[in-house]
Amino acid sequence: MAEKSFRTSSSSTFSKKKNKEIDEIDSRIEYEIIGIIRKTFRFRDIFDFQYNTHASPFIKMWNRSIVPLEFESLNHFSISLEEKDDPQNLDLPVPSVFSRTKIPHNYWYRQNPSLIKVQQDSKPKLVNKSKAPRIWSISVPWETETVPAEPHVKLPNIPEQNIQNILNLLKVLFEERPIWTRRAITYKVNKKDPGMSAYLKYALAYVAYHWRSGPWRDTYVKYGVDPRTDQKYRFFQTVSFTYRPSENLDNTNLSPQEKEESNSPIFTGQTLYQQTRIFQILDITDCLLIQLLEKIPLRTKANFKNGWFKSTLFDKFKHIMKQKFKALSEGRIASDLEFIRILERSNDASSSSFTDDEIDETKFDTSIISQEPDAKVNLLMKDFLQKVGVLEDDDFYNDDDAFDDDIFGED
C-alpha cells in the first residue's frame, strides 16, 4: 500500500569544494537544478511486483482527467464498457500466477517503536530514542596551529556510569604515557577489564584528541600536549603497514592466550600479531631496529613525513621494519643478515629507495657471513653510521650491554 501526495518540489544536486591537503570543507556550495518532482509515493509495505504503467491507456487517461483535480478535466473521465477486440491486451496488472508464492506476503508493517514525537521550537519533531549517542571526539590535521586543550564543548559534563568507570582508568594511563594508538590503549584496557572496551570510544573524547595525519597519525594525545614542540615525543610517532595474510598462516587453532596476544601493539620482529597494522616507535623491541633508531640524527623542527627523525636513516629504519613485517606475513622470520646490503649502502640521494631484490638473501655473497652473525651485523652498522657522520669512534655498544638502559625512559 502506498500513500500518494501531490506537491511540487525541486530535485537538485550540490557539491562541496574540498581542500585535499587539509581535508576541510569550504563554505562554497554549488547547486544545479535537475528536475521537478510532482508526485511522491510513500510505501507502507514491501511491494511484490514492479509494473510499468507508462504505456497503459487507462493510466494515461487517469493522469489527464483525475490527477490535475480540475473540474473540467474530471468531466472528460469515462470508463469504456465495451468488450475489447484484442483479448491479449486487457490493460490489467500482472496476475498473481507470476508470483513465487501462492499468497501475498504479510510484512506486518509498523512504525519504528523507538521514534517519539517531541516539540522543538514550537514544531513537532521525530526523535529516535535508541539512536547511539554521538561521539564528540576532536580530530586535527597536521597543519593545525594549536592543539585542543580541553574536550568538545558539547560533550556531557557528567558521563554515564559505564563511561566513568573506564574514564578513571584512562586518566591514569594518559598520565603514564601521553600518546597512545587505539590498538595499544585497547590492549591495556582489556588487560584490566575486557568489558570496558565497549565504552572506550566514548571515554577517549574526555581525555584525548586524535591526529588524522602526520607522523603521529591515528594516535590519541592527551589534551594540551603538542608532540611537535619537543623531541621527546619522537618515540610516540607511528609506523604503519598493510599486508595480505599468507596461506601459510593458520589462526584457527589459537589458544585463548594467543588470541589475546594477537592484539598486542608490540613489534618484536619474531611474531606477527594479525590485528596490528600500526606501531609506535617505543613499542618496537626488535634489536636491529633499536640499534639503528638510537643513532638516527634528529631535526630541530618536526616535519610532516618523518616527524623529529632525519629522513635518510629513518627511511632505512622503516624499510627494514617493513621487510621484517612482510616476512612475518609470509610465515617466516627475517634474519638480520638479510639487511646487510642496506646497512652497507652509502649515504647518497637514492639511499631511501630500495627494491626487493636488494634484500634477497639468496643473492648474498655468503663469504661475508661470519660464524657470529650478530657481531657481523653490529660491525657493519658501526661502519655504516661512521660513514654517514652520525657516529664517532668508539661510540657504539656491544651486544653484551646493548640494552642495559631503556632508551625510552621506562622501567
CA 183 to chain centre: 12
Rounded Cα distance, 401 and 385, in Å: 19
Q: In terms of residues, how long is the chain?
A: 411
Residue-level pLDDT at 110: 75
138-279-384 Cα angle (round to 5): 130
Residue 51 in this model has a pLDDT that exceeds 50: yes
Rounded Cα distance, 146 and 218, in Å: 18
Given phi > 0 = left and psi -120 to 50 = alpha, else beta, which region is 83? beta
Q: Which of the two residues, 159 and 273, has the higher pLDDT score?
A: 159
Residue 151 in this model has a pLDDT that exceeds 90: yes
Residue 394 in this model has a pLDDT that exceeds 60: no
What residue type is assigned to position 73 of the chain? S
Residue 257 in this model has a pLDDT that exceeds 70: no
Rounded Cα distance, 347 and 202, in Å: 47
287 and 402 in contact (C-beta within 8 Å)?
yes
Using 50, 70 and 90 to split pLDDT, how confident is the model at 203? Answer: very high
**Of 57-66, 211-220, 400-409, highest mean pLDDT:** 211-220
Mean pLDDT of 167-192: 91
Q: What is the pLDDT of residues 332-374, one digit of tens each?
A: 888 888 887 777 664 443 344 444 433 333 333 333 333 344 5
User: Alpha carbon of 190 to those of 187, 333, 338: distances in Å?
Assistant: 5, 28, 36
Residue-level pLDDT at 38: 79
Q: What is the pLDDT of residues 269-301, one digit of tens each?
A: 888 776 667 899 999 988 889 988 888 999 999
Percent of all residues in the chain with a pLDDT value above 70, rounded to a whole number: 64
Rounded Cα distance, 259 and 308, in Å: 35
The cell for 304 is: 610532516
Cell numbers 556510569: residue:
161
Mean pLDDT of 82-97: 67
Among candidates 294, 297, 315, which has minimal Cα distance to 305?
315
For residues 13-45, one letter each, b for 16 or more C-beta atoms within 10 angstroms of the residue's C-beta and e for the rest, the string is eeeeeeeeeeeeeeeeeeeeeeeeeeeeeeeee
Residue 308 in this model has a pLDDT that exceeds 70: yes
Mean pLDDT of 18-44: 69
Residue-level pLDDT at 119: 84
What residue type is assigned to position 196 of the chain? M
Classify the C-alpha dihedral 372-378-384-387 as positive or negative: negative
User: Alpha carbon of 373 to those of 271, 337, 348, 403: distances in Å?
Assistant: 20, 7, 26, 18
Query: How many CB atoms sit inside 10 A of residue 217's CB?
Result: 17
For 145-151, which contacts have Cβ atoms below 8 Å and span 24 or more sequence positions?
Answer: 146/226, 147/209, 147/221, 147/223, 147/224, 147/225, 147/226, 148/209, 148/223, 148/224, 149/223, 149/224, 150/223, 150/224, 151/205, 151/206, 151/207, 151/223
Residue 244 in this model has a pLDDT that exceeds 50: yes
Among candidates 280, 184, 210, which has minimal Cα distance to 240?
280
Residue 211 in this model has a pLDDT that exceeds 90: yes
Residue 48 in this model has a pLDDT that exceeds 70: no
